[in-house]
Amino acid sequence: MKISPTQYFGNLSLLLDLEAEAEKQEALRERTKFTPAEAEASGNSLIGLVIREEGYGLGGHFLLGLGKRNETLPLPWTRLGVGSPVILSEERASSANVENGWRGIVSSMRRDAIQVAINQFIETDSERPTFRVDRATDEISRFRQRQAMELARGASGGSRLEVLRDVLIGSVGAVFEKIEPIHVFNQNLNQSQIEAVQFALSAEDVAIIHGPPGTGKTTTLVELIRQITRKGQSVLAVASSNLAVDNLLERLIAAGEQAVRLGHPARVTPELRGHTLDELVEHHPDVKIAHKLTRDGYALFGQADRYTRAKPERGEKQAMRQEAKDLLREARKIEDQVTESILNRARIVCSTATGLDRERLGNKHFDWCIMDEASQSTEPSAWIPLQYAERVVLAGDHCQLPPTVLSPEAMRGGFNISLMERLLENNGPRKMLNVQYRMHQEIMTFSADVFYDGNLQADETVRTALLADLPAVTSTPLTTTAIHFIDTAGASYDEEPEPDGDSRMNPLEAELVIKKVDELLASGVSPADIAVISPYSAQVKLLRDKIKHPEIEIDSVDGFQGREKEAVIVSLVRSNREGEVGFLADTRRMNVAMTRARRKLIVIGDSATITAHPFYEKMVKYFESVGAYHSVWEE
């Protein structure tokens, strides 16, 4: 049964509202339930900060460097990172009301300091103020999602948006031209990558490129974009995360392409900030004139407001203010003209989907929208870039982590199902990449069989690669094998609830992780080549407290998606008599965890608990079948 656009987007808007309310309540709960110290311990806040340095940068934003008053103290563990939206507020003796603070973006992080980029100079109430920084919800993104859905719902008159909408909601079928062979720019592409590019180019409306872990999805998209621009066509390249956008932009630049990056410069990798629209506008010769006009305008405002002994002529102050307004208006006009000129010349524009601003883009339209990480964003955000494009290519892997959704009610309504996944459920047109260049064959095989119907193969360059093959690494039982499962069943490695939190931790399992890290280091593996990941934030925090080596990355599965290391240790945490696996039941999380390692994967868990779930029963049997099963009693 076909659904009307009004009904379709009405339902999607309702789910968006549910998620917005859940995020609001979560933020409110953290601010009211926790003391400032507890809020900081949760990782969502930093308290007791003082301003260390001030300045301007990142396309004219005001930059504040903050740290603890005692400069020898490092910042505590935090979930905040570069690009996080935050609210900066002044701490007062009574209570710090973060809603009365200044919204900004984390622009850099050091061990002992955090830098926040805001749009205005701040004025404080006290002479020696202290500040707190709290993670904030992104209301601008939500507004853009609602705006985009309303535009799609009302599209009519045979417009491209109407046609795309009807194809994407299933009212009409997708149309393809005859697949034509291409002259490949990157001679290292494999056959499945070439076929995926050719398939995408044949799409009149939508095509899907399915890229399992390590299969060179970004490489394929760079080739696709280059093929499009050589035809004289334009591309809007988007992704759900800034990291993915920057990765794509970096690869495009390396291939000799010119691209403009939209978005707050604080959310962009420092090496790429010169390609951001803000920086390009800021350093344009005409904008120097605009800056002078702005300075002169504010000087006139100040002069008009200044008290003088001599009585001013009638209307003199009003005339000054009017002249100041005219100067500021002229400055804004110049900046807008420069922005429009840069965008009009751009053949490739890169941005997060939610970072697209109608005021900035104006009437700019693109021949193609290439959407990376399409399986990781909720559907409303995917509709934002669609209003600017003639056709769309969705790229991602729905067998890895889905969009993060807080509201259980929204999740029951399918809000965690991305546009890409929904299209695939309805047999949307796809092409899968089938050669992976990341991991040893034994690391790959279980995921390949369970998630990709056995259709993945390891490239010869990685098929048998082990840690022992690396320079300075000695041959040990750990370095001469690819996978290792340590079963803690029967050893009383019991999980514990997180104090003052909802997560889980397993202290004895953490000690075993540390032992394995030490063994890898002793065998000559570089700490920069080791990662420790866990599905549970409390275990991540515990491990960060215990493993002091700064080069060893310790993160959640969600935080490590899209990353890879030579050696990865996975701590599963769950160990209980009831056989409860919690959100390990979302097996896509384990797919991500098991496919981050290149040469060595170590998984630590309690088989008596996890095998209550059929997926983990298969996993343990796989480890047994290749001789990788070990009991903790062997340790």
Is the pLDDT score of 370 beyond 80?
yes
The mean predicted confidence, pLDDT, of the chain is: 90
Place of tokens 């199902």: 417
Q: How far apart are alpha carbons 181 and 197 in whole angstroms?
A: 10
H or E element in which residue 165 lies:
helix 160-168
Average pLDDT over residues 583-600: 95
At residue 14, what are phi and psi to the nearest 5 degrees? -60, -45
Q: Residue 453 contacts by C-beta under 8 Å, 6 or more apart in sequence?
A: none
Closest CA to 511 of 537, 546, 476: 546
Specify the pLDDT at position 316. Answer: 66
Whether residue 164 has pLDDT greater than 60: yes
DSSP 3-state assignment of 55?
strand
Mean pLDDT computed over 299-317: 61
pLDDT at 264 over 60: yes
Task: Kindly tell me if the per-residue pLDDT of 244 is higher than 70.
Answer: yes
CA 148 to chain centre: 21
Cα 117 to Cα 64: distance, rounded to the nearest angstrom: 6
Q: What is the C-alpha to C-alpha distance for residues 391 and 267, in angstroms, rounded to an integer? A: 27
Q: 568-587: per-residue pLDDT in tens?
A: 999 999 999 999 999 899 99
Is the model's pLDDT at 481 over the cut of 50? yes
Q: In what order do the strands lie in the sheet with 389-396?
A: 260-261, 348-352, 235-239, 366-371, 389-396, 206-210, 430-432
Residue written as tokens 């094998």? 481
Q: Which three-class secondary structure string do you get for 72-87?
A: CCCCCCCCCCCCCEEE
User: How much is the pLDDT for 513?
Assistant: 98
**Over residues 480-486, mean pLDDT:** 98
Cα dihedral 405, 411, 414, 416, rounded to 10, equals: 20
The CA-to-CA distance between both ends of the chain, in Å, stands at 59
**Which H, E and C letters describe 475-520, residue by residue?**
CCCCCCCCEEEEECCCCCCCCEECCCCCCEECHHHHHHHHHHHHHH
User: Is the CB of residue 595 less than 8 Å from the CB of residue 447?
Assistant: yes
Q: Are 16 and 142 a contacting pair, CB within 8 Å?
A: yes
Q: Which two tokens stand for residue 302?
A: 């100040």
Between CA 180 and CA 162 the distance in angstroms is 27
Which of 482, 480, 401, 396 is CA-nearest to residue 444? 482
Judging by beta carbons within 10 Å of its beta carbon (0-12, 13-18, 19+), is residue 44 exposed, middle or buried?
Answer: buried
The enclosing H or E element of 15 equals helix 5-33
- pTM reported for the whole predicted model: 0.85
Task: Determine the angle formed by the axes of helices 139-154 and 379-386, rounding to 10 degrees.
Answer: 70
pLDDT digit string, tens, across residues 419-434: 999 999 998 889 999 9
Q: Is the dihedral of CA 415, 417, 418, 423 positive or negative?
A: negative
Q: Which of 19-28, 159-168, 181-190, 200-209 has the lowest mean pLDDT?
A: 19-28
Residue 97 confidence (pLDDT) above 70: no
* Beta-carbon count within 10 A of 274 CB: 12
116 phi/psi in degrees, rounded to 5? -120, 130
Query: The dihedral of CA 489, 494, 498, 502: what is its sign?
Result: positive
Nearest to 491 by CA among 635, 633, 623: 633
Q: What is the mean pLDDT of residues 450-456?
A: 96
The stretch 178-183 carries a mean pLDDT of 93
Q: Which residues of 275-290 are buried (b: 16+ CB within 10 A; e: fewer)?
A: bbbbbbbbebeebeeb
Give the Cα separation of 166 and 155 in Å (integer). Answer: 10
Of 589, 513, 530, the residue nearest 564 (C-alpha): 530
Q: Which of 4-8, 95-99, 315-319 has the lowest mean pLDDT?
A: 95-99
Structure tokens at 558: 């969600």
Structure tokens at 459: 């490239």
Q: How confident is the model at residue 283 (pLDDT cuts 50, 70, 90)?
A: confident
Rounded CA-CA distance 632/511 in Å is 12
Q: What is the pLDDT of residues 105-129, one digit of tens each?
A: 888 888 889 999 887 777 777 778 8
List all residues 6 or more positions away from 627 whose beta carbon is below 8 Å from its beta carbon.
none
pLDDT at residue 95 in the model: 43
Contact (Cβ atoms closer than 8 angstroms) between residue 137 and residue 23? yes
The residue among 190, 237, 249, 198 whose CA lies nearest residue 215 is 190
**Residue 154 vs residues 149, 166, 381: alpha-carbon distances, Å:** 9, 12, 17
- Nearest-CA neighbor of 604 among 593, 596, 595? 593
What residue type is assigned to position 19 of the chain?
A: E
Dihedral of the alpha carbons of 354, 359, 360, 361, in degrees to the nearest 10: 80
pLDDT tier, 306 (very low <50, low <70, confident <90, very high otherwise)? low
Q: What letter represents residue 46's amino acid?
A: L
What is the structure's pLDDT at 23?
86
Q: How is 223-240 classified by DSSP, letter by letter?
A: HHHHHHHHTT--EEEEES
Q: Which residue from 557, 570, 562 is spatially nearest to 605, judged by alpha carbons? A: 570
CB 237 within 8 Å of CB 218: no
User: In 3-state terms, what secondary structure has residue 294?
Assistant: helix
Distance CA 271, CA 253 (A): 11
pLDDT per residue over 506-563, tens digit each? Answer: 999 999 999 999 999 999 999 999 999 999 999 999 999 999 888 999 999 988 888 8
Q: What is the pLDDT of residue 330?
A: 79
The residue among 608, 611, 542, 549 whose CA lies nearest residue 571 is 542
Task: For residue 489, give both structure tokens.
Answer: 């069943």
How much is the average pLDDT of 138-146?
88
Pairwise pLDDT comparison (8 vs 267), residue with the higher score: 8
